[in-house]
Amino acid sequence: MTSLNDDYSLLAPGPVNLHPEVRKALALPMIHHRTPEFDKILKRVLTNIKTVFQTEQDVYLLTSTGSGGMEALLINVLSPGDHIIAIVSGKFGERWAEMAKTYGADVSIIHVPWGEAVQVSEVESLLKKRPNTRAVLCQACETSTAVAHPIQELALLIKNYSETLFLVDGITALGAYPLPMDAWGIDGLVAGSQKAFMLPTGMAFISFSQKAWKFIETAQCPRFYFDVRKEKAANKNGETFFSSNVAVIRALDVVLEMIQAQGLEKLFQTIQRRAEFVRHFGQKLGFTLYSKSPSDSVTALQVPPQMDGQKIRLHLEQVHKITIMGGQDQAKGKIIRIGHMGYIQDQEQIRLIECLGHTLRHFDPDFMSLEHISNITQDAKNYLEQNP
């Protein structure tokens, strides 16, 4: 593994490059989580994070990975035996469905081919057959395939069912592109610290609609650490219920202030620009788009025939000190996945394209010439200069 120096570039779907101001915040001396100094930080964070969720509802901070937040969404609204519909289009949809089964839910799965988005009509058809459905589960972005699902359209459909909640895994979406919780009618939303919030892994953020709170009070799934009722009561007193993740919350405070200063729209535009750049120049290099509904937060590129995505990814990391991700399960070796969240400078984008070209040439010298790589790299520089 390469040493982490200034030439190292983390362009995975998460974790991501940390902003220099975040790194400064993480290096500060530790303070206790039950002090007036931290109370001020926590109060500010709990207010400002609502801007990213685009909600008037409370947002809760959990010291866990995003998967813990996914579990928290489930157990706070479900009772054993409840029927749910799980949209499964990749590894993380599979994980959420398995969580629900573990807690005794009666799970109906809509299997979506990898690389495709769910059809709203298919969800509508199943809801008509099972109007007693307690919740529909869907990833905003299925990270393993880089697919963006039609969350707004699904939310509009599910609003018609007063006893059905729409729970959304926004871990690889929230803060990267529009996902307004209140305006769209999302009932439960989870985000992760290591994605668009450009923080280290280790925190999940969740919020529930007023509609969901009716079920939270009566849900029968076992819950202790992830019992949102305890967190709500503690937050009202200016604390977290369990020990606070002081270092990450303090860094989150910095990130939220930066987002407030530039505005969500500007942040979305920046990430979209990166995504469009990678999609455009990835195809110029000979890759094809894997997703039929591409997400702006991460791009999946299908590797050229006769090449191995795992070997491309490993070579890029070992030789060029750029970390991206490969495919999982049925997509293993067939795709590479490049993230667009976090602190990414234009020079990193250009270097990525140049090094990808050299990596392809390493595995097949006849695939493209050095001159062709040089021309594409220059085109990439010009593109970013012309599209600031």
Note the pLDDT tens digit of each residue in 265-292. 999 999 999 999 999 999 999 999 999 9
| Helical axes 346-363 vs 370-386, angle rounded to 10° | 160
Give Cα separations from 206 to 61, 88, 188 (angstroms): 7, 21, 7
pLDDT band of residue 144 (cuts 50, 70, 90) is very high
Q: Residue 136: which of 107, 101, 170, 113 has the closest Cα?
A: 107
Q: What pLDDT does residue 7 have?
A: 75
Side-by-side strand order, sheet with 288-289 = 288-289, 298-302, 335-339, 325-326
The span from the CA of 39 to the CA of 32, in Å, is 10
Query: Under DSSP, is residue 341 helix (H, G, I), strand (E, B) or coil?
Result: coil
What is the C-alpha separation between 326 and 314, in angstroms, rounded? 9
**Sorting pLDDT into bands at 50, 70 and 90, what band is 1?**
very low
* Percentage of the chain modeled with pLDDT above 90: 96
Q: Is 204 helix (H, G, I), strand (E, B) or coil?
A: strand
Each residue's pLDDT tens digit, 254-271: 999 999 999 999 999 999
- The dihedral through the CA atoms of 235, 238, 240, 246 has a sign that is positive
Q: In the prediction, which pLDDT does 2 show?
A: 35
Place of tokens 């573990």: 102
Model confidence at 6: pLDDT above 70:
no
The stretch 17-29 carries a mean pLDDT of 96
pLDDT band per the 50, 70, 90 thresholds, residue 4: very low
Averaged pLDDT for residues 150-171: 97
Give the C-alpha separation, 134 to 348, whole Å: 45
- CA of 232: how far to CAs of 2, 136, 301, in Å? 43, 24, 42
pLDDT band of residue 39 (cuts 50, 70, 90) is very high
Query: Any idea which residue has 């695939």 for tokens?
Result: 367
